[in-house]
Amino acid sequence: MNKALADLIRISNVTGKDSTLVQGGGGNTSVKTMDGKYMYIKASGTALKNMNEQSGWRRLRLHSVLSIIKDKSISKLDTYARENEVVNQLLLACDDKITGEARPSIETHLHAFLDECVIHLHPAVVLAYACAKNGRQELEKLFEDQKPPPLWVPYTDPGFTLAKKIAKLIDGYQNRFAEKPAILFLQRHGLLVSAKSPDAALRLLRKVINRCAGKLKQLKAGKIKKVNQEIVADAKLDIRRAFYEATGRYAVISYFCDDAIAAFGRQKDAEKMLLPGALTPDELLYANGPPMWVDDCDSKKIAGRLSSQIEKAKKPSVAFLSKGVGLFIAGTEKITPAIRDIVQSSFFIRTNAFRLGGIHSLNKAEQNFINKWEAEAFRKKLASGLSEGVLQNRIAVVSGAGSGLGKSIAIGLTRAGAMVGLLDINKKSAQETQTIIKKGLPQAQTIVLRCDVTRETDVDKAFKALLKRWGGLDILVNAAGIAPAGPLIDIPVGKWRFALEVNLTGYFLMARAAAKIMLRQNIGGNIINISSKSGLQASKDNTAYNATKAGEIHMARGWALELGQYQIRVNSICPGNVFEGSKIWNPEYLKVCAKKYGIKPDEVIPYYVSKTALNREIKGQDVADAVVFLCSDKARTITGQVIVPDSGQVMVR
C-alpha cells in the first residue's frame, strides 16, 4: 500500500474512534505524497473510523485541486452553480480506481494549501470557543505562548468561498511568519491542524484538545432518575404523531437519557441556551438545529411549533428534550446515532459558550446556504441511508415471518422501505428471514420477535419490544396460520380447535394490540389479514381451514367499519396456492391432496396451476406486492376489501 494512503488510514482511524473528537462521523483528513503530486483525502459521507484500504478515500492530482481555487471563471458563477461546478472539478481531479458514489471531501480545497498531513475535526472543546461571542479572545489568551500563533478564520460559507478565504489568510500568514499555520480555528466550524508527518499532526491535535478542555466546565452528572417506560412509550407516540402531522413524514422515534443529557436538562438556563439557532453546519445539517425544549409531550403543541418552524422556512426540529424525561430523536435508525452525538456535543458547547460571553449561532443567510447546498445534502443522504421505497420509514409487523407467505411479505415490505418486525413462534426461522433480508438489503432495519400469537402475554410483549425499538406502528400483516386437512369425519377436535386458536384467536390478538397502538398514535395505519381463496370458495376436505379463512375475511370487514373513522384501513388478501417455501404444502399435505384428486404427489402442483385462468404459478412475491400496494398511499381509499392474487382461479362477485 502507498505510504501516504497508509498514513491517511491510520490518522483517520485513530481520530475517528475517539468520541471526544468526532461527532456523527464528521471531519476529514488528508495526506500528500512525498513527491507533492497527489493528495489522498477522506471521501464525503464516510466515517473516519470506517476508512480502509479499499474504500473511504479518493486520490487527487494536487495541481488540479489548486487550479480550481485560481479559476476566475468559477468565481463568476452564481452560488449554487459554482458549488456544483466545484464538485465536478474535484471529481475530474481524482486519479484512482474508486467507483460508485464516493466523492472527495467537500473541504478538499482547504487541505491543498496546508502541510503534508492535515486533520480537520469538530471537537466540542474547540467549538465551545468557536461558537462563543468572546471565543476568539479566549483562544488568543489560551495559546499566547504558541509561536507562530494559531490562525483564526472568521465564519465563511463552507466550500469554495471558505477555501478562497483560507488561501488568502494563509498568504498573509506566510508573509508575516514565513511559514504556514499549523493550527487553524474556524469560527462556528471546527479545527484544522497540519504537520509534516502523521505523528506530528496527531501530537499537535492532542495538545490543542487538552489545552482547550482545561478551561471548560464539565456538566455534573448527578443521579439519573429512572423514567417509567410507559411514559417513554407514550411520549414516543405523541412525538411521532406531531412530527407526522407537521411534516407528513414517517419517522423512527428513539429515546436517550444519560448523565450528559440529564445534567444539561437540570440547568436553570437550559431552555434559554436552546433558543439560539444552529451553532455549526453539522448541527444544522444533521439535527436541523438545537433540540426543541418541551415541558410535556403534548402532540398538538409540538405539531404547532413544528408547523410554525416550517412556515418560517426553517427546518423542523428532529430532536426534542423533554423536561425530566430525556431526549427523543425523530429520524432513521442509521442517522439517529449521528444526531444524538451532535446534540449531546451541542449541550456541552452551549453550556460553555454561554459562559464565554454568550452563544454565537449561524445567522439566517448562513443557514440558508447550508440548507440549499447540494454537497451537504449528498453527505446527509449517505449518512441517513434513505431508501426511495413507497413505504419508506413505515413500521410494520408480520406474523409468521419465519417461513412461507410471512417470509415473502416481510422481504417485500423491507424492499419497499419499511422497517419490519419479524414475528414468529420459531425464533430461528425468523432469524433466517432476517439474514436473507440483510444479505439482499444491508441497510434494511428488522427486529426478530419471538411470539406465540395465541398467547396474549406473548403478543403484548412483542409489541412493547417493537415500540421500544422504533416508537410506533403503521402496518400489521397477519400471516401466521395452519391448515389441518382431512375429511370431516376424520379430523380430530384438537386440530379443529388449534386451527381456531392460530387462525382466528391469533389474528384477533395481534389486531387488537396493533389497533390500540394505532389509535393512540392517531396517524392512521393498515391491518391486513392473509386469508385464502378457500375463504371465498370452500375446498374439499378442509373444514377447519375453510371456516377460519372465511372468518378472517369477516373479522377484517368488521374491523374496517370500526377503525375507518381513525383512518386505519383493514383489508384481506386471499392468495391462491403458493407452493414456494410453504410449510403448509409439505410432503404429507401433498399426499393428502394427491389422494383427494386421484393423482400422484408430484402432479399436485401442476394440477393446481392448470386450474388458474393465467396458467401461472403464484409466487410469494406476488402476494408481497399486493400487501405493499394495500399499505401504500395509492390504496388510500381501499378498506374492507378482498384482493385475490390467485392467477384467476376464484372470480369474486
Side chain identity at 248, as an amino acid letter?
A: G
Q: List residues with catalytic annotation.
A: 545
Domain termination site, one of 349, 384, 419: 384
Say what the pLDDT of residue 439 is.
94
User: What domain range is 174 assigned to?
Assistant: 3-214
Range with lowest mean pLDDT among 174-188, 419-433, 547-561, 576-590 = 576-590
Rounded CA separation 23/348 (Å): 12
Region 107-117: mean pLDDT is 91
Banded model confidence at residue 323, pLDDT cuts 50, 70, 90: confident
- CATH classification at residue 104: 3.40.225.10
Positive or negative, the Cα torsion across 364, 365, 366, 368? positive
Within a domain: residue 257?
yes
pLDDT reported for residue 223: 66
Asked, for residue 651, whether it belongs to a domain, the answer is no
Residue 260 and residue 178 in one domain: no
- Please give the average per-residue pLDDT across 283-292, as a whole number: 94
Average pLDDT over residues 277-287: 93
Highest mean pLDDT among 5-19, 246-260, 450-464: 450-464
One domain for residues 197 and 305 = no
In a domain, 488, yes or no: yes
* Spatial separation of the C-alpha atoms in residues 389 and 407, rounded to whole Å: 19
In this structure, is residue 610 part of a structural domain?
no
**Mind listing the pLDDT tens digit for each residue in 423-464?**
999 999 999 999 999 999 998 999 999 999 999 999 999 999
Q: Are 360 and 498 found together in one domain?
A: no
Q: Does residue 322 share a domain with residue 445?
A: no
422 and 352 in a common domain: no
d(CA 277, CA 31): 35
Strand (E) or helix (H) holding 265: helix 259-266
Whether 50 and 199 share a structural domain: yes
The CA-based angle 547-459-403, given to 5 degrees, is 65
Contacts of 349 (CB under 8 A, 6+ apart): 124, 127, 128, 131, 279
**Domain-ending residue, one of 355, 384, 413:** 384
Instruction: Evaluate the CA torsion angle 127, 129, 130, 131 in order and state its sign.
Output: positive
Kindly state the cell numbers that stand for 156: 465563511
Q: Give the SS3 label for residue 169.
A: helix
Residues 318 and 178 in one domain: no
Angle between helices 229-247 and 506-521 (to 10 degrees): 70
Cis peptide before 148 (omega within 30 of 0): yes
Examine residue 601 and state whether it is found in any structural domain, yes or no: no
Asked if residue 364 and residue 427 are part of one domain, the reply reads no
**Is pLDDT of 254 > 70?**
yes
Domain-ending residue, one of 332, 356, 384: 384
Q: Is residue 592 part of a domain?
A: no
**pLDDT interval class at 109 (50, 70, 90):** confident
How far apart CA 27 and CA 342 sit, in angstroms, is 12
Residues 334, 186 within the same domain: no
Q: Name the domain count of the chain.
A: 3
- Secondary structure (H, E, C), 389-407: CCCCCCEEEEECCCCHHHH
Please give the pLDDT value at position 328.
97
Pairwise CA distance, residues 300 & 306, whole Å: 10
Looking up residue 442, the CATH number of its domain turns out to be: 3.40.50.720
- Is residue 352 located within the same domain as residue 263? yes
Distance CA 218, CA 221 (A): 9
Residue with C-alpha cell 500500500? Answer: 1
Whole-number Cα distances in Å, 399 to 28, 485, 528, 544? 45, 22, 11, 20
The span from the CA of 412 to the CA of 477, in Å, is 12
| 258 and 329 both lie in a single domain | yes
Tracing cell 406502528 back to the chain, one arrives at 473
pLDDT-derived band at 377 (thresholds 50, 70, 90) equals low
